[in-house]
Amino acid sequence: IFSFRSFTSAFLFSIEVQVTIGFGGRMMTEECPLAITVLILQNIVGLIINAVMLGCIFMKTAQAHRRAETLIFSRQAVIAVRNGKLCFMFRVGDLRKSMIISASVRIQVVRKTTTPEGEVIPIHQVDIPVDNPIESNNIFLVAPLIICHVIDKRSPLYDISASDLALQDLELIVILEGVVETTGITTQARTSYIAEEILWGHRFVPIVTEEEGVYSVDYSKFGNTVKVAAPRCSARELDEKPSIL
């Protein structure tokens, strides 16, 4: 072994071997089998360390995608009366105990429209608000929630009645975003509802029960709905004739 004068020079040689940057003036010969064996073992250990580090980084980045798979949506949405207003509603839940921080829900209506000038917009996107006293899309997803959109004058669903719904070529896209509590990585889950997946005059059944101060959730009924009395007219007609209720 050449140019090994101290522990420092041996340590530098070890680093050069570990990161494969070249030996420089330090090198070994075939006259030292023990050094060759140690070199081979160090290379193997170095490869294992690199593989483990890359695996940890990959798992860290892929964890957000797996976390999104535990955020679930009801297969169908409903339209029913809530607080005297027609509302579009769907249910969202989180299957894990770790929470999603700063969770928010966005809803977009995607449909084909034609402008007064005759221009056809095949994918026209309109954001619709979530029912919230402070007009915010933020939610606290501690238990399954029913997300509600009030169909008012600002809503693109304002002129749609029960009979019109089946004829509508539209899709409501739901986007749930938040930060994973354990990793701090932003995650996103998406779903959508077409006209055939929206039940008019239905309501989601309760799934959260309380017994002796302990809350429990029955996920087997997560997407179950029941029929309720609801006007078949549009929200505009309901506003013009409140006596329909």
Task: Report the pLDDT value the prediction gives residue 6, as an integer from 0 to 100.
Answer: 79
Residue 31 pLDDT more than 70?
A: yes
Task: Report the pLDDT value the prediction gives residue 22, as an integer from 0 to 100.
Answer: 65
Neighbours of 193 (CB within 10 A): 22
Q: Phi/psi of residue 33, each to 5°?
A: -60, -35
Nearest Cα to Cα of residue 200 among 80, 34, 119: 80
41: Cβ–Cβ under 8 A, 6 or more apart, which residues? none
Task: Report the pLDDT value the prediction gives residue 132, as an integer from 0 to 100.
Answer: 75
Q: What percent of the chain has pLDDT over 70?
A: 91
Task: Report the pLDDT value the prediction gives residue 85, as an integer from 0 to 100.
Answer: 92
SS3 106: strand
- Tell me the C-alpha to C-alpha distance, in Å, between residue 234 and each of 113, 131, 164, 241: 19, 19, 9, 11
What average pLDDT score do residues 168-191 get?
Answer: 89
Helix axes of 33-68 and 7-18: crossing angle, nearest 10 degrees: 50
CA 168 to chain centre: 27
DSSP annotation of 232 reads: S
Residue 160 pLDDT more than 70?
A: yes
Residue 67 pLDDT more than 60?
A: yes
Task: Report the pLDDT value the prediction gives residue 60, as an integer from 0 to 100.
Answer: 67
Task: Report the pLDDT value the prediction gives residue 200, as an integer from 0 to 100.
Answer: 96
Show the tokens assigned to 190: 């998406």
Residue 87 pLDDT more than 90?
A: yes
Give 32's pLDDT tier (boundaries 50, 70, 90).
confident
Nearest Cα to Cα of residue 164 among 193, 130, 198: 198
Task: Report the pLDDT value the prediction gives residue 96, as an integer from 0 to 100.
Answer: 85
What average pLDDT score do residues 210-222 get?
Answer: 89
Show the tokens assigned to 13: 């040689």
SS3 68: helix
Burial of 7 from C-beta contacts in 10 A (0-12 / 13-18 / 19+): exposed
Show the tokens assigned to 206: 């309760």
Mean of per-residue pLDDT scores for the chain: 86
Q: Which domains does the chain have, with CATH numbers?
A: 7-64 (1.10.287.70), 69-244 (2.60.40.1400)
Least confident span in 25-34, 46-55, 110-119, 205-214: 25-34
Residue 134 pLDDT more than 60?
A: no
The enclosing H or E element of 52 equals helix 33-68
- Please tell me which of 20-29, 56-65, 72-81 the model is most confident about, judged by mean pLDDT: 72-81
Give 177's pLDDT tier (boundaries 50, 70, 90).
very high
- Tell me the C-alpha to C-alpha distance, in Å, between residue 158 and each of 10, 93, 238: 78, 27, 10
